[in-house]
Amino acid sequence: MLKIKNLHAGIEEKKILNGINLEIKAGEVHAIMGPNGSGKSTLASVLAGRNSFEVTEGSVEFFDKDLLEMSPEDRARAGMFLAFQYPVEIPGVSTTNFIKTAVNEGRKYRGQEPLDAVAFLKMMKEKMKLVHIDQSLLSRSLNEGFSGGEKKRNEIFQMAMLEPRLAILDETDSGLDIDALRIVANGVNAYRNSDNAFLVVTHYQRLLDYIVPDFVHVLYNGRIVKSGTKELALELEEKGYDFIKNEVELAEQV
């Protein structure tokens, strides 16, 4: 589904990603872990198409298409979703209206008829249950005045509505208390199936107790320096990121 090859990217003169290689297949959950500044969020942003980052080398294929050539909206329509670390507040745009527009633009792109009001509402009701989100929240302006937890639940709700093939969760656990974390994780797990995949970007291991990954990758200095299974996350939790840093430095000395 997603093939990242030797991806280099940065912002202005600063290089942040220094040769990422990663392949994600349908049905898989990959976790990207790493210390602050390792490039985790940059990777998520580059994949979603944020234009403040410049890709200097490498390629990304998404369902055999050149992802880097696609606009952010076409990436979304082709099945990519980014749950933002800091969802944007947009006064004056109602959440419901926004979701409807987004869902129908995606359907149009895939050659499907737009959902009528009844079908849309039915779908919304279903997905709302998934993340325990209330109707009153959705009639308000998008994310405006939402608490941190409400914003993150709204992200997962949007994911459920848009039914992406690959969902990138950018530090979705940051700022969540345990109840909110559980709700968000349950939402993700309910949506998980053999056709879709997840890239879970996180600093801490605790989210991975709830969203259990198939693979864990450690990002350091813009490169994946170690990959493994969920046990790697536990090891990181136990030993801290310093053990990775030491290993990398040792390797470089050799």
Partner 1 sequence: MAIDTKQFFNNKFGEQQVNGSALAGFRKKGLELFNHVGIPPVKHEEWKYTRVNSLFNDGLRYDLNPAAPSAADIEKFRLPHTVSATSLFFINGVYNESLSEIKHAAKDLVILPLETAAAGEYSDLVEKHLGHSASYHPDGIHALNAAFTHGGVFILAKKNRLIEEPVYIYHITDSRGGFTFAQPRILVYAEKQSQVQLVEYYGTLGNEGSFTNEVIEIVAEEASVVDYYKIQHEGAEANHVGTTHVRQLGKCLTNAVTISLSGGLIRNNLNMIMESEHGESHMYGLYLLNGKTHVDNHTIVDNVQPHCFSNELYKGIMDEKSTGVFNGKIFVRQDAQKTNAYQSNKNILLGDSANVNTKPQLEIFADDVKCSHGCTIGRLDEEALFYLRTRGISEKNAKSLLLHAFAVDILENIKPQSLKAFVDQIISERLDFNF
Q: Which is nearer to partner 1, 108 or 182 (CB)?
A: 108
Q: Provide the minimum distance between the beta carbon of 146 and partner 1 in the complex, in angstroms, as a whole number.
A: 13
Give the tokens for residue 105: 């633009």
For residue 67, state whether it binds partner 1 (rule: CB under 8 A): no
Residue 141 φ then ψ, to 5°: -65, 145
Q: Which is nearer to partner 1, 142 or 200 (CB)?
A: 142
Contacts of 205 (CB under 8 A, 6+ apart): 33, 233, 234, 236, 237
Interatomic CA distance for residues 89 and 209, integer angstroms: 30
For residue 102, state whether it binds partner 1 (rule: CB under 8 A): yes
Interatomic CA distance for residues 183 and 137, integer angstroms: 16
Q: Which is nearer to partner 1, 71 or 139 (CB)?
A: 71
Interatomic CA distance for residues 130 and 153, integer angstroms: 10
Give the tokens for residue 231: 């046990």
Provide the mask over 141-180, with x wherever binding to partner 1 is found by CB under 8 A and - wherever it is not. Answer: x----------------x---x------------------
Q: Which is nearer to partner 1, 65 or 182 (CB)?
A: 65
Q: Which is nearer to partner 1, 138 or 224 (CB)?
A: 138
b (16+ CB within 10 A) / e for 90-121: eeeeebbebbbebbeebeeeeeeeebeeeebe
Q: Provide the minimum distance between the beta carbon of 137 and partner 1 in the complex, in angstroms, as a whole number.
A: 17
Own/partner pairs for 62-69, CB < 8 Å, 24+ apart? 62/1, 62/2, 62/166, 63/1, 63/165, 67/2
Contact range with partner 1 by CB under 8 A, out of 11-19, 57-65, 90-98, 176-184: 90-98
Contacts of 6 (CB under 8 A, 6+ apart): 19, 20, 21, 57, 58, 59
Q: Provide the minimum distance between the beta carbon of 68 and partner 1 in the complex, in angstroms, as a whole number.
A: 15
Contact range with partner 1 by CB under 8 A, out of 16-24, 27-35, 87-95, 127-135: 87-95
Secondary-structure breakdown of the chain: helix, strand, coil percentages, each rounded to the nearest 5? 40, 30, 30
For residue 112, state whether it binds partner 1 (rule: CB under 8 A): no
For residue 215, state whether it binds partner 1 (rule: CB under 8 A): no
For residue 187, state whether it binds partner 1 (rule: CB under 8 A): no
Q: Which is nearer to partner 1, 40 or 100 (CB)?
A: 100
Q: Provide the minimum distance between the beta carbon of 93 and partner 1 in the complex, in angstroms, as a whole number.
A: 5
Among 62, 81, 198, 215, binds partner 1 (CB under 8 A): 81
Q: Closest Cα to residue 38, out of 241, 236, 220, 246?
A: 220
Return residues touching partner 1 (CB under 8 A): 48-51, 71-73, 75-77, 81-82, 84, 87-88, 90-93, 97-102, 105-106, 109, 141, 158, 162
